[in-house]
Structure 1
Amino acid sequence: MLNPAGTPRRVLLRSALGDTLRRVRLEQGRTLAEVALPARVSMPYLSEVERGLKEVSSEVLAALCAALGVELSDLLVAVAFHLSATNGAATVVPVHRMTAGQFPVATSPTRRAGDAYALAA
């Protein structure tokens, strides 16, 4: 995807975070209301977060992770993979569950469940 200047358009963190949150919620078969209520946010706000229209604070992000039953670290790894794949730094990778009941994390053939990851700017 190119911007008007002809250079690749970079995906924003808020968009990747929103996409990942929505994917997790839908994989759990839950509605916006079922996640927004325990996270103590409004459904319209959660919808805007999922669509990448709103920046989310660390407190709200922690509340959303708790409501979804996922670890923040797992969410951030999935977002990092999403950004890498979307920004052309890697190929699109499948999503699978690390172990039963844990958050789905995108992996590539060279990475295995349980591997440690470091995120760098």
Structure 2
Amino acid sequence: MSHQTPNRARVIPLRPPAERPGTAPAVPAPASAPGTAPRPTPREPLLRDLVGDVLRRERQAQQRTLKDVADEARISMPYLSEVERGRKEASSEVLAAAAQALGLSLGDLLARTQGELVRLAGRHPARSRTTTASAYDGLCLAA
């Protein structure tokens, strides 16, 4: 009979022990002034939220229903609603179809979205960059 050692799995934790739920943080949180709540760090807006806002505003400016635009774009009405609310990451094909149904090109939609991003980014203090700034000052999408 051969001698076999038990097969034991090695567990590698995904979080350091101090960050696991139910344990105390390793570094204490910075103290805030008495009687004030700590300010949450403003989060950068998501592209899907901005695109959805632009689509919804344009649709409403044209006084068109969600069903009307969805039918013309050949998109299901619930899906277009989810895109407008920023709940779904729509493909470029879906965005182009929705934009065309509203009389816009995909470029128009993205340009308006970029304008919104610039407007909203101006509200937040700029973070220091560790890399050099790009010569292109616009919205870039990579596939």
Q: TM-score if structure 2 supplies the norm length?
A: 0.58
Cα shift at 1:66? 1.3
Unaligned runs of 5+ in 1: 91-116
Give matches, 1:92-107, under 5 Å. Answer: none
Distance in 1 (alpha carbons) for counterparts of 2:53 and 2:72: 20
Structure whose residues are more often helix by fraction: 1
Question: Aligned to 1:35, which of 69, 80, 87?
Answer: 69
Aligned to 1:7: 41
Give matches, 1:1-121, under 5 Å. Answer: 6-88=40-122, 119-120=138-139
Cα shift at 1:25? 0.3
Cα shift at 1:71? 1.6
Cα shift at 1:75? 1.2
Percent identity reads 55
Cα shift at 1:58? 0.8
Structure whose residues are more often strand by fraction: 1
Distance in 2 (alpha carbons) for counterparts of 1:84 and 1:75: 14
Larger radius of gyration: 2
Aligned to 2:33: none
Cα shift at 1:77? 1.0
**AA partner of residue 57 (structure 2):** R
**AA partner of residue 121 (structure 2):** N
Equivalences, count:
92
Unaligned runs of 5+ in 2: 1-37, 125-135
Q: TM-score if structure 1 supplies the norm length?
A: 0.68
Kindly report the root-mean-square deviation, in angstroms, between the aligned alpha carbons of the 2 structures: 2.2
Distance in 2 (alpha carbons) for counterparts of 1:120 and 1:40: 27
Distance in 2 (alpha carbons) for counterparts of 1:120 and 1:50: 19
Cα shift at 1:7? 2.2
CA contact under 8 A between 2:114 and 2:139: conserved in structure 1?
A: no
